[in-house]
């Protein structure tokens, strides 16, 4: 893939260097704009882009511009004359212009808005004023809407006239004279209909819409649920103000997935590709979360400090502390990931919380039993072959506490302790981890942001408490050491 990009880059730059206009046009006519933009992603010479925009038809360069990096777009805007900028904007969709402006400094935004034709400037300003990550912020205002009183023949004529300026021609939105949305018609249904039929008679009435203030992730789930190519965006008065198309939804899904993965791993969302992100910016994205998690670990530190004397008297306890904490964290993390994913995909309905808890309780019990049995056998094996040395612990107990213990006693007790702790931890951590995302959603917080660090911290505390309380009240007495802890 990298070799292909280098070959394409060389081909484009050679065509520009040699002023080979026909070669450059052929490249844009036969190769996707995204591929050309990616091969030039490190080019920062304004002359290269100026030649492309002067030579290649605007039907290709407007889409090409949308695929460039924010720095390159700013470079081009600053290099363009007002006339060139107006020509570029006239051939771009409002939502693409908005995506560009969101990354630009204020002075560049003002210049672009001044260059926009009046009707386009109005659309862009409307989109810029909608709350970020809502349907209104990602919709486009270039769509085909027609009155329900039009005939099929009249509708097809309008499509031929206005279709090239629309984001999509495959879905036509039918409205009444007051701009209330009445239905939708697919292009293939329109083509095969009798030309004298009215749109109101052949339109689909079971259409789906979203509100301008709906979250973009909810909109993406609606596209998936209803298998849509385009959806009307309506205001609070149910009047159509724009549409969202499937290409917008693909971008939303990629953006939301990236954000959720970053949050689950305690990283701030990446706004630009990794290799183009400055080192200092990467440090700022990662370091605060690491510091926050270290502070949250104060509870684990308090527990370990409280049971310091037990660890010193029976050193074998410290050997299995990392195992218990890691296993609990892993179990909680698995559950959190599954539940957050299901919530993101809108898989749960109202009232499903109890069903989730009951199902997760059964899953947790089965996993906890399996893990406890395995761990009991595994620690018996480790202590038998000498991977874990019990002799030094027996010697310390004999010297310091004056209690004689046999190797088999210690092996059985420590294996039972760790197995019992993990049994409790697995159930508690999975139940907590499946409850927390629902709670986060209830209080209107992003589950992916809240659940990752909090699950890890709380599960660590649960694990350590279970471990040391089981030791103090059950297993130490079984060894005859209850009086010492």
Q: What is residue 69's predicted lDDT score, i.e. its pLDDT?
A: 83
Give the Cα separation of 195 and 333 in Å (integer). 59
Winning range, highest mean pLDDT, from 46-50, 337-341, 439-443: 46-50
Q: What is residue 264's predicted lDDT score, i.e. its pLDDT?
A: 53
Q: Is the pLDDT of residue 421 over 90?
A: yes
Q: What is residue 298's predicted lDDT score, i.e. its pLDDT?
A: 80
Q: What is residue 209's predicted lDDT score, i.e. its pLDDT?
A: 92
Residue 124, token pair as written in the block? 């862009």
422 vs 117, more confident:
422
Give the Cα separation of 291 and 285 in Å (integer). 11
pLDDT digits (tens, 9 = 90+) for 103-157: 666 567 667 767 777 777 767 767 767 787 888 888 887 888 898 889 999 999 9
Q: How confident is the model at residue 341 (pLDDT cuts 50, 70, 90)?
A: confident
Q: Contact at 8 Å (CB) between 68 and 37?
A: yes
Give the Cα separation of 356 and 413 in Å (integer). 35
Q: What is residue 275's predicted lDDT score, i.e. its pLDDT?
A: 64
Lowest mean pLDDT among 185-199, 305-319, 362-376: 305-319
pLDDT digits (tens, 9 = 90+) for 246-260: 888 888 877 766 666
99 vs 107, more confident:
99
CA atoms within 13 A on the CB side of 240: 30
Lowest mean pLDDT among 235-239, 268-272, 411-415: 268-272
Lowest mean pLDDT among 68-77, 91-100, 455-464: 91-100
Give the Cα separation of 239 and 241 in Å (integer). 6
Query: By C-alpha distance, which of 246, 241, 200 is closest to 223?
Result: 246
pLDDT digits (tens, 9 = 90+) for 426-439: 999 889 888 888 88
Percent of the chain whose pLDDT exceeds 70: 87
Q: What is residue 363's predicted lDDT score, i.e. its pLDDT?
A: 92
Question: Interior CA angle at 161 toward 94 and 147, to 5°?
Answer: 80
pLDDT digits (tens, 9 = 90+) for 346-392: 778 777 888 889 999 999 999 999 999 999 999 999 988 888 888 77
pLDDT digits (tens, 9 = 90+) for 278-301: 777 767 766 776 777 777 778 788
Q: How confident is the model at residue 450 (pLDDT cuts 50, 70, 90)?
A: low
Q: How confident is the model at residue 416 (pLDDT cuts 50, 70, 90)?
A: very high
Q: What is residue 378's predicted lDDT score, i.e. its pLDDT?
A: 94
480 vs 374, more confident:
374
Mean pLDDT over the full length of the chain: 82
Q: How confident is the model at residue 415 (pLDDT cuts 50, 70, 90)?
A: very high
Domains parsed from the chain with CATH numbers: 2-129 (1.25.60.10), 145-262 (3.10.580.10), 297-484 (1.10.357.20)
Question: 197 phi and psi, to 5 degrees?
Answer: -70, 150
Read off the DSSP letter of residue 145.
E
pLDDT digits (tens, 9 = 90+) for 29-74: 888 888 888 888 888 888 888 888 888 887 788 788 888 888 888 8
Query: By C-alpha distance, which of 147, 158, 218 is closest to 187?
Result: 158
Q: What is residue 252's predicted lDDT score, i.e. its pLDDT?
A: 80
Mean pLDDT, range 192-205, rounded to an integer: 90
Residue owning tokens 């969101």? 102
Task: Find how far residue 199's CA is from the centre of its chain.
Answer: 40
Give the Cα separation of 242 and 142 in Å (integer). 7
Winning range, highest mean pLDDT, from 110-124, 228-242, 338-352: 228-242
160 vs 269, more confident:
160
């Amino acid at each position: 893939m990298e070799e292909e990009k280098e070959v394409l880059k060389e081909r484009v730059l050679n065509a520009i260097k040699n002023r080979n206009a026909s070669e450059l046009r052929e490249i844009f006519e036969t190769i996707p704009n995204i591929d050309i933009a990616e091969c030039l992603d490190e080019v920062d010479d304004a002359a290269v882009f100026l030649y492309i925009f002067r030579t290649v038809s605007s039907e290709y360069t407007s889409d090409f511009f949308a695929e460039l990096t924010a720095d390159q777009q700013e470079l081009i805007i600053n290099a363009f004359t007002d006339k060139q900028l107006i020509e570029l904007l006239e051939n771009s969709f409002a939502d693409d212009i908005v995506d560009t402006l969101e990354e630009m400094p204020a002075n560049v935004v003002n210049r672009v808005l001044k260059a926009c034709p009046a009707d386009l400037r109005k659309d862009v300003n409307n989109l810029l004023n909608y709350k970020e990550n809502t349907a209104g912020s990602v919709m486009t205002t270039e769509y085909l809407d027609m009155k329900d009183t039009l005939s099929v023949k009249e509708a097809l004529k309008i499509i031929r006239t206005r279709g090239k300026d629309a984001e999509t021609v495959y879905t036509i939105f039918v409205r009444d004279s007051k701009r209330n949305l009445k239905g939708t018609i697919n292009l293939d249904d329109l083509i095969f209909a009798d030309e004298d039929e009215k749109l109101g008679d052949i339109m689909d009435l079971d259409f789906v819409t979203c509100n301008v203030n709906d979250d973009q992730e909810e909109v993406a789930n609606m596209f998936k649920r209803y298998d849509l190519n385009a959806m009307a965006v309506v205001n609070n008065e149910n009047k159509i103000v724009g549409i969202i198309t499937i290409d917008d939804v693909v971008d939303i899904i990629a953006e939301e997935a990236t954000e959720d993965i970053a949050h689950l791993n305690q990283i701030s969302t990446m706004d630009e590709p990794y290799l183009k992100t400055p080192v200092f910016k990467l440090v700022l994205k990662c370091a605060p979360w690491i510091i926050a998690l270290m502070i949250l670990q104060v509870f684990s530190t308090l527990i370990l400090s409280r049971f310091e004397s037990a660890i010193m008297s029976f050193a074998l306890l410290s050997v299995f502390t990392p195992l218990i904490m890691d296993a609990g964290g892993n179990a909680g993390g698995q559950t959190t990931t599954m539940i957050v994913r299901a919530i993101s995909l809108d898989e749960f309905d109202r009232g499903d919380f109890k069903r989730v808890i009951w199902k997760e309780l059964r899953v947790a019990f089965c996993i906890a039993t399996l893990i406890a049995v395995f761990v009991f056998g595994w620690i018996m094996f480790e202590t038998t072959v000498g991977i874990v040395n019990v002799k030094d612990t027996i010697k310390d107990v004999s010297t310091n506490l004056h209690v004689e213990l046999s190797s088999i006693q210690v092996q059985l007790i420590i294996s039972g302790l760790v197995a019992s702790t993990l049994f409790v931890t697995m159930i508690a951590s999975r139940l907590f981890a499946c409850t927390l995302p629902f709670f986060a959603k209830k209080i209107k917080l992003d589950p992916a942001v809240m659940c990752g660090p909090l699950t890890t911290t709380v599960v660590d505390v649960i694990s350590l408490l279970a471990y040391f309380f089981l030791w103090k009240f059950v297993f130490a007495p079984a060894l005859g050491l209850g009086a010492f802890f």
